[in-house]
Amino acid sequence: MFTWICPQCGREVPPAYADCPDCAAKAAAVGAAAAPPQAPAEPGPPPQTAPPPAYPPPPPPPVAQPYYPPPAPQAPPYYPPQPPTQPYYPPQPPPSAYYPLAQPQPRPQAVGPSRFALPVWLLTVVFALAFVGLVFGIYWIVQVARGNSQPNTPSASVESPAAKSGAKTNPLQRYIEVAGVRFVQDAKKKTVAKFMVINHSEADFSGLAGNVTIWGRTQKSEEDAEGTFSFTTNLAPLESKELSAPVTSKLQIYEMPDWQNVTLDLQITAPAVEASPGSGGPR
């Protein structure tokens, strides 16, 4: 059902009304309040209501359009193959009767042996001698540099007490142990030994001194010692102390044996004590 919208109040109004009934009632109430009271008028004939407007006719049905099928695809036109065209060469002018003679080229001169060129065998000998001299020079420089870097220290001269014939052993050697030797290098490029001195007795040793000979694991009677060092310290009963001492050796630090391949011989030099005949201990 079709309705129309009142432009004043925005309500939907049926098509049978020409004006909005709400707006008309409000306007009549406002006019009655503003007008002065009048005598009641005689009732007249009833108002004639306008007939409702007819509904608009329905839109005509759509006209069916005729269906035309799409055109069938057309095959491209066939063009027969054309024979290959021959390239066009413009006509050349006839050759002239005059041909210039070619200029004679100078023949290359044979290069003979130079007056100062040396034979191949002599060059081979010269280069071989130069190479041998270079290798010898490098070897000499390395040996000189190694000799300058080695300290001027004598070879190991301290022997093991067991190697000396008729050497008297200090009785304290059975209670003193030197172990855990490690080799380091100080700021002056000298080899230093770090080791532990252990007192296995209940006696107090003051001014304890000794010499330690370093042997490799493959120690033989005809071999020289790897080096030697000396120490001096004080030990309380059952005490161990870590010390360090410079090593007297003709070997560099990288030539010294590893700690697992080192054998140490200790010779106590001080204090001088005598073994007790009854107990065999220090006195």
Domain assignment of residue 161, yes or no: no
Comparing C-alpha atoms, which of 145, 280, 177, 266 is closest to residue 215?
A: 266
Tell me, what's the pLDDT at 271? 82
> DSSP characters for 66-114?
PP-PPPPPPPPPP-PPPPPPPPP-PPPPPPPS--PPPPPPPPPPPPPPP
Domain assignment of residue 92, yes or no: no
Domain assignment of residue 225, yes or no: yes
Domain assignment of residue 236, yes or no: yes
Comparing C-alpha atoms, which of 228, 210, 263 is closest to residue 157?
A: 228
Tell me, what's the pLDDT at 158? 41
Domain assignment of residue 244, yes or no: yes
Domain with 239, as residue range(s), is: 171-270
Domain assignment of residue 234, yes or no: yes
Domain assignment of residue 176, yes or no: yes
- How many domains are there within the chain? 2
CB-CB neighbours of 275 under 10 Å: 15
pLDDT tens digit at each of 283 positions of the chain? 567 777 778 778 777 777 788 888 888 777 676 655 555 556 666 666 666 656 667 777 777 777 778 888 888 888 888 888 777 777 887 766 655 666 667 666 655 555 567 788 888 999 999 999 999 899 888 877 776 555 444 343 444 444 444 457 888 888 899 988 999 988 888 899 999 999 998 988 888 999 999 888 765 545 678 889 999 999 899 998 999 999 998 888 888 888 888 888 888 888 876 654 444 455 4
CATH number at residue 263: 2.60.40.10
